Structure 1
Amino acid sequence: MARLVQVDSILDVPATSWDDLCASGQPFIRHGFLAALEASGSVSEANGWVPAHCLLENDDGQIVAAAPLYEKHHSYGEFVFDFAWANAYAQVGLDYYPKLLNAVPFTPVSGPRILGRDEEARLALARAMADLPGEHDASSLHSLFVDADSARQFTEAGASARRGCQYRWYNRDYADFDAFLAQLSSKRRKEIRRERKRMHDAGVQVQAMRADEIDDELWDTLYAFYGRTYAIRGQAPYLTREFFTELCNRMGERVRFFVAYHRDRPVGMAFMMLGDDTLYGRHWGCETDYHSLHFETCYYAGIEYCIENGLACFDAGAQGEHKIRRGFEPVPTWSYHVIDHPQLAAAIDDFCVREAAMMESFENEQRERSNFACDAPPTT
């Protein structure tokens, strides 16, 4: 009979035991990414992320299913916003924190949230996790940015579904960037060409670089760019400098930096990662504010990279309705929530149903604003 085991560090789980359960090549759910977060101190009890990862073991002690799990004492770094839920708890004199979070920290990318040898093992783990809030004296369990497989398991475990929206670019076998532009309306083609020309005329070029092509001096510069993005908002960066060293040591072949150079001097960067057929844009930063630098570094260079390397999709990150004007398309995202308090669970479930209807309407409106000149079938 399978039993649930929890560990307080992903570093205590053999990488092969974890990764052997991954049916997807998506990098963020893999052991190397999660381990880099913990080994670098980016995720720790000190910053409100207490690892409590779930393993389902069979009678022989073999891991047959696994899921990242964190005890959270705040709601930062999640990108599915539940501050109103925390306020509702406070208004009735209850504690919303700690809560349990099944997610990849600081990473609003849809993907597997429960790994397992088979459907039976994954469903068993989902059901065991749904019981954890009561056992841990936590208010709730939240699984964020789940794929269709994990969504099915959490639905069967009785979780409430919450709908969101992101934007992705799809490669429809474009021969080059101009072939992609040809599918857009005339107005959007002109806008994009104008933005790219502005960068060209300023002497700014973007170079895609592997981790092993970056020396120590450039690493420090790129991290300073990343840190500035948070500093201008009065925040400390989520990721430490050591995270990037750890990540590159563990899975450097998946790392890409798109470095913007003004002549020979780096002035901006976008940190991205490779999946099997998808490029994932994660973080960006720059030396100072250059007009159109963000669009060139974070969007257009990534689109060009996907076309040149035959990648099917570019997931450029959370939020951003402005992506519609640059050839990205709206797609739904899903999170699943188990609320331990019965009355508040009913209220939150009702809210999620009403919010999902509004989000679906919003996505349809966004799709109608699509800038493709021809009818391009949506890809999900």
Structure 2
Amino acid sequence: MQVSVVTSLSGIEGEAWDRLAEPTGNPFLRYAFLEGLERFDCLGERWGWLPHHLLVHEQGELIGAAPLYLKTNSYGEFVFDWSWADAWERAGGRYYPKLVSGIPYTPVTGPRLLTAAGADTAAVRQTLATGGLEVARKLGVSSLHWLFPTEEELDSLVGGEVMRRLGTQFHWFNRGYRDFEDFLDRFTAQKRKKIKRERKRVVEAGIELEVLSGHEATGEHWRAFHRFYRTTFERHSGYPTLTEAFFRHLSESMPDAILLVLARKGGEYVAGAFNLRGRDALFGRHWGCAEAFHSLHFEACYYTGIEYCIREGLARFEPGAQGEHKVSRGFEPVPTWSTHWLADAGFSAAVRRYVENEEGVMRDYMDELAGHLPFKQKTAAK
């Protein structure tokens, strides 16, 4: 197996990459998504994401790959290491640049060690994991981080100097619901009443929702949504890194994966939510609004997505990172993972002690939140 690094996906044949990515059913790993980020100015020096993708060839055929980036900050990762960077730099070290394997601005669990059908999966995964460490050492970076890998990949990524870190998100699972009312029937009376009231408030405000695929979304729709997307980041002193051209590109190149929810009031669009659909899951990613309306965020970002999953027979809905308020709406705490290699042995030992302690705290936190799910006792026990 030959290992190499490319600094742009434009030099790779899209079909070759997708032979590895498409079987995963994860839309964020597709060539159109990752190459689109590069081509439509969502990455680069300005944002601190510099592609260094890892490739494995055998007899000239691409049999393995890992999305990999040289990072000059920790923005858009959702596995927070700001305190590590601060501690290391106060100690006189240099934390940036570092290497990160993940999907930019996307806290979605999925394969990071892509392998071709028919290849020796264990061998290719190990080659990619080892190759990542070799690149990190060659570049002289402070660290290498694999963000949101699957649990099955941990055996290849963890061991020796590489440690794991536990996180959590809140996901909705389809228990074979017939419709949204059937889903709500699993709730306690008080929680069910709250959800119905929230949905009613949106109707009472005179707001109508449009649910569009990439085939149906027009230039007007994308202009409106991108305006809301920018507004969200500007309100929270963030950076709207994804360009309108990038969203239009996704709409054209992978239209069946698009689920765009737009809210209209009095003939004007007032809010929007962007989702991507995978083989068995829906992923909520971005939201924005022109003005605040009571419960509209819950309707556009959660309840409409749940209805879509039930109607389409999707197994789960991942609405994004964080948000304890999701628990009372039927989203369950689930584990997420990352792995970390730090070049300095002393610093690595200190961080290892931290993440080992953090894992126990995180498990207790997840157990506590699971006790606050809104389901009736007999439903929760199933």
TM tier relative to shorter chain:
over 0.9
**Alignment of 1:46 onto 2:49:** no
Deviations 1:229-287 (A, max 9, x none): 01112333021111112222321221110111224322111100101110100000111
Per the TM alignment, residue 212 of structure 1 is displaced from its structure 2 partner at its CA by 2.2
**What is the CA–CA distance in structure 2 between the aligned matches of 1:139 and 1:269, rounded to whole Å?**
39
Is contact 1:127–1:157 with CA below 8 Å preserved after alignment? no
Per the TM alignment, residue 48 of structure 1 is displaced from its structure 2 partner at its CA by 1.0
TM-score by length of 1: 0.96
Pair 1:28–1:376, CA change in 2 (3 A)? farther
Per the TM alignment, residue 42 of structure 1 is displaced from its structure 2 partner at its CA by 0.2
Tell me what 2:4 maps to.
Answer: 5
Per the TM alignment, residue 187 of structure 1 is displaced from its structure 2 partner at its CA by 1.2
Gaps of 5+ in 2: none
User: Of 190, 193, 200, which aligns to 1:190?
Assistant: 193
**What is the CA–CA distance in structure 1 between the aligned matches of 2:215 and 2:103, rounded to whole Å?**
25
Is contact 1:132–1:141 with CA below 8 Å preserved after alignment? no
**What is the CA–CA distance in structure 2 between the aligned matches of 1:13 and 1:294, rounded to whole Å?**
39
Letter in 1 for 2:41: G
Equivalences for residues 248-287 of structure 1 within 5 A: 248-287=251-290
Q: Helix, strand or coil for the counterpart of 1:20?
A: helix
Tell me what 2:317 maps to.
Answer: 314
**What is the CA–CA distance in structure 2 between the aligned matches of 1:96 and 1:366, rounded to whole Å?**
34
**What is the CA–CA distance in structure 2 between the aligned matches of 1:365 and 1:236, rounded to whole Å?**
34
Is contact 1:77–1:238 with CA below 8 Å preserved after alignment? no
Is contact 2:222–2:248 with CA below 8 Å preserved after alignment? no
Per the TM alignment, residue 3 of structure 1 is displaced from its structure 2 partner at its CA by 2.0
Is contact 2:274–2:285 with CA below 8 Å preserved after alignment? yes
**What is the CA–CA distance in structure 1 between the aligned matches of 2:53 and 2:381, rounded to whole Å?**
36
Q: Which moved more, 1:165-174 or 1:143-152?
A: 143-152
Q: Which moved more, 1:85-94 or 1:106-115?
A: 85-94
Pair 1:278–1:50, CA change in 2 (3 A)? same
Q: Which moved more, 1:228-237 or 1:162-171?
A: 228-237
**What is the CA–CA distance in structure 2 between the aligned matches of 1:84 and 1:212, rounded to whole Å?**
43
Gaps of 5+ in 1: none
Is contact 2:166–2:337 with CA below 8 Å preserved after alignment? yes
Letter in 2 for 1:183: R
Deviations 1:287-326 (A, max 9, x none): 1111111000000111111111111101001000000010
**What is the CA–CA distance in structure 2 between the aligned matches of 1:331 and 1:235, rounded to whole Å?**
27
Letter in 2 for 1:19: D
Deviations 1:148-206 (A, max 9, x none): 23222102575211111100001111111111001011111011011001111112122
Tell me what 1:348 maps to.
Answer: 351
Per the TM alignment, residue 378 of structure 1 is displaced from its structure 2 partner at its CA by 8.6
Tell me what 1:68 maps to.
Answer: 67
Pair 1:263–1:49, CA change in 2 (3 A)? same
Equivalences for residues 1-380 of structure 1 within 5 A: 2-22=1-21, 23-58=23-58, 60-117=59-116, 118-156=121-159, 158-376=161-379
Is contact 1:130–1:157 with CA below 8 Å preserved after alignment? no
Identity %: 40
**What is the CA–CA distance in structure 2 between the aligned matches of 1:65 and 1:278, rounded to whole Å?**
24
Letter in 2 for 1:212: H
Q: Helix, strand or coil for the counterpart of 1:207?
A: strand
Letter in 1 for 2:301: C
**What is the CA–CA distance in structure 2 between the aligned matches of 1:300 and 1:232, rounded to whole Å?**
24
Is contact 1:248–1:255 with CA below 8 Å preserved after alignment? yes
